[in-house]
A and B are shown apart, each in its own frame.
Chain A
Amino acid sequence: MDYSTDLLNALVLITNYVLIPSISYGSQLALGAVGVTLVFGILRFANFAHGEVMSFGTMATIFITWWFQSMGISMGALPTALLALPFAILITALLVVAIDKSIFSFYRINKSRPVTFVVASVGVMFMLNGLVRILIGTDEIIFRDGQKFLIKAGAFKKMTGLSEGLALKQTQVLTFVLAVIAVLALLWFLQRTRTGKAMRAFSDNEDLALLSGINPERVVLVTWIIAASLATLAGVLYGLDKSFKPLVYFHLLLPIFAAAIVGGIGQPLGAILGGYVVAFSEISATYAFKKFIKYIYPGDFVPEGMLQFLTTEYKFAVSFLILVLVLLVRPTGILRGKVL
């Protein structure tokens, strides 16, 4: 086999195991992180309940999906969950707004310290966590239906004659497409609409926004609705791609926070960037590069070790290391967000 085939193989290998998974996982993190960053920008606290909102939204989607399936409604090759998504977003947004009105608004009126909000969000986290477990249980749930693969590894090998296969799951493409649509819609909203601009103004300079007659409660309301919608979308995409398990969603909180801070807290664009940075680092740091090196090294050289920087169990450590690095080197994040 000649060297150029080797290089192609290496490219396919890295695309299959690092690039594609990073893009889909990164999109999921990005959607979650945008919610965290918006809530931080407007309400000025780190919402510890965000992972649970994702979990709740996904649960709502699963229930509606099951209901649709029981009625024989489906979307053919696409997952039924997509059909259920708008309804689940509605339910989740209502819940989150209700939580804001019943819990957070009190501290807003009293101008409580940010840390009080954080503690309250811990309470909300407990309640939502329990609620989800009570309603749907703790088992792993796979709710994906429709076509699984767009490109199968075997078919790819046959088609190209390469020894490395490339598999592309439908959910990975869906994740990326939906995330791009959601992000573009959000950016359009923030840049072009009156309410979106008011949100940016409020996040930038609260006092001046009040002096300009911007209604804070409306800004907060819209923020929660957007955060809840994106959280539901992120949760459903993650669940479709992998599976739904309440405990896993709690653990997503850390990479999501990392993404928001790395990107520059309060900066939606930064959060998106941060999502991809965290996902790419997590996946490449835990990927064994042995085979890759074998391909790209001219001649017959097989590295001795697995060339894996960290074992997959240390995924969290990666997001955290990035977090620490950013805090030390550039506390405002990539896109110069607020310094907490």
Chain B
Amino acid sequence: MSYLIGEKLTGGYGGPDIIKDCTLSVDKGEIAVVVGPNGAGKSTAMKALLGMLKLNGGSVKLDGQDITSMSPQQRVAKGMAFVPQNKNVFVSMTVEENLEMGAFLRRDDITETMEQIYDLFPILKTKRRQVAGELSGGQRQQVAVGRALMTKPTVLMLDEPTAGVSPIVMDELFDRIIEIKRSGIAILMVEQNARQALNIADIGFVLVTGENRFTDSGDALLANEEVRKTFLGG
């Protein structure tokens, strides 16, 4: 059984169900990628894992414990960290303050974690007194990921982390994500750049209209003729 698993999730934002019987899972030290066409409910499925929408069915388990009824805040305290797609940094605060806010729930010494994040994203260290709103898109994403890592999470969820950044920055960011995975964190991400994302994925989920269409290892999905044709543009 996986470390984090959302089984047969059904729900939406109060209106019609956007995801139906959707199952996602990820293990520690693994990267799981959710891909699919626009409007397939990828982000919605991820938000369901975090408890940000009303579920009409299904359950979420973290480390074997049922967390379906917990609020997002409680799940964060349980070790789940989330990087939203938009507005994922405190634009009026400095890089360092952003990281501090990420560690808001922690009462212990956070300097070590902060150093780890500066090691992971060295540019942030040089810009740590700068206001996050003034950074470039790629740097902001680094701040956003860094902020999420400050809680020392066991699961890191990323909603389209490479949206709007250049290919070079994207590669760089994926490298960092692999590095994070190696530290034993479970990573779940939703991606538009499906091909590149599946390249680094241990497991991939292809969603269509809120339902699982394919679930397999990243390589297998890339090799799958139908997936390639339909979702990866040949």
Dominant secondary structure at the A interface: helix
A205 touches B104 (CB 8 A): no
Contacts of B93 in A (CB 8 A): 197, 200-201, 204
Minimum CB distance partner of B77 in chain A: A213
| In the bound complex, CA of A204 to CA of B131 (Å) | 12
Which of B73, B88, B147 touches A210 (beta carbons < 8 Å)?
A: B73
In angstroms, Cα B105 to Cα A198, docked, is 11
Is A212 in the interface zone, CB < 8 Å from B? yes
Contact of B90 among A194, A204, A210, A213 (CB under 8 A): A204
List, in ascending order, chain B residues with CB within 8 A of A209's CB.
90, 101
Name the distance in Å between A60's Cβ and chain B's nearest Cβ: 34
A200 to B90, CA, bound (A): 9
Complex alpha-carbon distance, A207 and B73, angstroms: 11
The yes or no answer to B91 lying at the interface (CB within 8 A) is yes
In the complex, what residues of A have CB within 8 A of residue B90's CB? 200-201, 204-205, 208-209
Instruction: Evaluate whether A211 and B72 lie within 8 angstroms (CB atoms) in the complex, with A197-B93, A198-B101 already known.
Output: yes
A contact residues, total (Cβ < 8 Å): 16
- Tell me whether A211 and B77 are in contact in the complex, defined as CB-CB below 8 angstroms, given that A200-B90, A201-B101, A204-B91 are known contacts: no
**A337–B70 alpha-carbon span in the complex (Å):** 35
Interface residues of B in 37-93 (CB under 8 A from A): 72-73, 76-77, 82, 84, 87-93
* Contact partner, A198, options B76, B87, B88, B104, Cβ 8 Å: B104
Interface residues on B, range: 20 to 34
- A288 proximal to B (CB < 8 A): no
**A8 in the interface (beta carbon within 8 A):** no
Q: Tell whether, in the assembled complex, residue B84 and residue A211 are in contact, meaning their CB atoms are under 8 Å apart.
A: yes
Per-residue CB contact flags for chain B residues 138-162 toward chain A (1 = under 8 Å, else 0) read 0000000001000100000000000
Whole-angstrom CA separation of A203 from B91 in the bound complex: 11
Known: A205-B87, A207-B87. A200 touches B92 (CB 8 A): yes
Contact (Cβ within 8 A) A213 B151: yes
Most chain B C-beta atoms within 10 Å of own C-beta, residue among A200, A203, A213 = A213
Q: Which of B77, B89, B101, B105 has the most CB of A within 10 A?
A: B101
A197 near B82 with CB under 8 A, answer no
CA distance A333 to B125 in the complex (A): 32
- Check: A91 CB closer than 8 A to any chain B CB: no
Whether B17 sits at the interface, judged by CB under 8 Å, is no
Decide: A204 near B84, CB < 8 A? Known: A198-B101, A212-B102: no
12 new A-B contacts at CB < 8 Å, known A208-B101, A211-B82, A214-B104: A197-B101, A198-B104, A200-B92, A204-B90, A204-B92, A208-B89, A211-B73, A212-B76, A212-B105, A212-B147, A213-B77, A213-B151
Can you give 20 contacting A-B residue pairs, CB < 8 Å? A194-B104, A200-B97, A201-B101, A203-B92, A204-B93, A205-B90, A205-B91, A208-B87, A208-B88, A208-B90, A208-B101, A209-B90, A209-B101, A211-B72, A211-B84, A212-B101, A212-B102, A213-B76, A213-B105, A214-B104
The 3 closest A-B pairs by CB, nearest first: A213-B105, A204-B90, A201-B101
B-side interface residues toward A, CB under 8 Å?
A: 72-73, 76-77, 82, 84, 87-93, 97, 100-102, 104-105, 147, 151
